A and B are shown apart, each in its own frame.
Chain A
Amino acid sequence: EAQVTQNPRYLITVTGKKLTVTCSQNMNHEYMSWYRQDPGLGLRQIYYSMNVEATDKGDVPEGYKVSRKEKRNFPLILESPSPNQTSLYFCASSLSAGVYNSPLHFGNGTRLTVT
């Protein structure tokens, strides 16, 4: 089944403890992206990747790192999480951001709480 898989679904951690949220897609998509969603707001883009070894900042990249060493995986790294990073996180992929007819496919989300 074609899908975007995020892990974990839920995570509670403490301030300053490094964590990684994984994202994997099995559709051979070139484009992958991370978003955060805060209550009452739409999703805001954190980082995106047009292809392997090509990452770019979105609208809210501060406090996050990403890497794209292989096509299927795009992990989100919080080196020193803070309470203001408590949020619902989504990963998405598409065939290519530069190609017409390239819809986004989303994972089920990761609910992160930083205390």
Chain B
Amino acid sequence: GIQVEQSPPDLILQEGANSTLRCNFSDSVNNLQWFHQNPWGQLINLFYIPSGTKQNGRLSATTVATERYSLLYISSSQTTDSGVYFCPNTNAGKSTFGDGTTLTVKP
């Protein structure tokens, strides 16, 4: 099946720092999204980004579908950015998640 490899698995930052999270896919990128899972377990949709670049405030994402990877940029990180980040891809009904990147932002 499709594999999603996320890196790094864990990331610890000081508040105000920038970071880049990456997802590599073993198959074609179709309905790709970035989610933030908050400490209460809720999955918060950040971007729907099967290709191209999008920005929303301090966050931006880029997907290069031809090379099967996606990047999430977090600038000026805040403690509320802490949590786990996922980049599932859904293809013909099958959804595949990686193991996530756990981000900890320290004050």
Contacts and interface: CB of A to CB of B under 8 A. Distances in A.
A104 B31 contact: yes
A103 B94 contact: no
A74 interface: no
Is the interface on chain B under 10, 10 to 19, 20 to 34, or 35 or more residues?
20 to 34
A8 to B, nearest CB: 14
Interface in B11-54: 30-31, 33, 35, 41-43, 45, 48, 50
Interface residues of A, number: 30
Contacts of A42: 4, 86, 88, 97-100
5 contacts: A40-B99, A43-B86, A101-B48, A104-B90, A108-B41
Interface of A: 31, 33, 35, 40-45, 48, 50, 56, 58-59, 88, 90, 92, 94, 97-98, 100-106, 108-109, 111
B20 to A, nearest CB: 19
A53 B90 CA distance: 20
B61 to A, nearest CB: 13
B31 A102 contact: yes
Contacts of A40: 99
B95 interface: yes
Interface in B49-107: 50, 86, 88, 90, 92-100
Contacts of B99: 40-42
Given A42-B100, A100-B50, A102-B31, A109 B94 contact: no
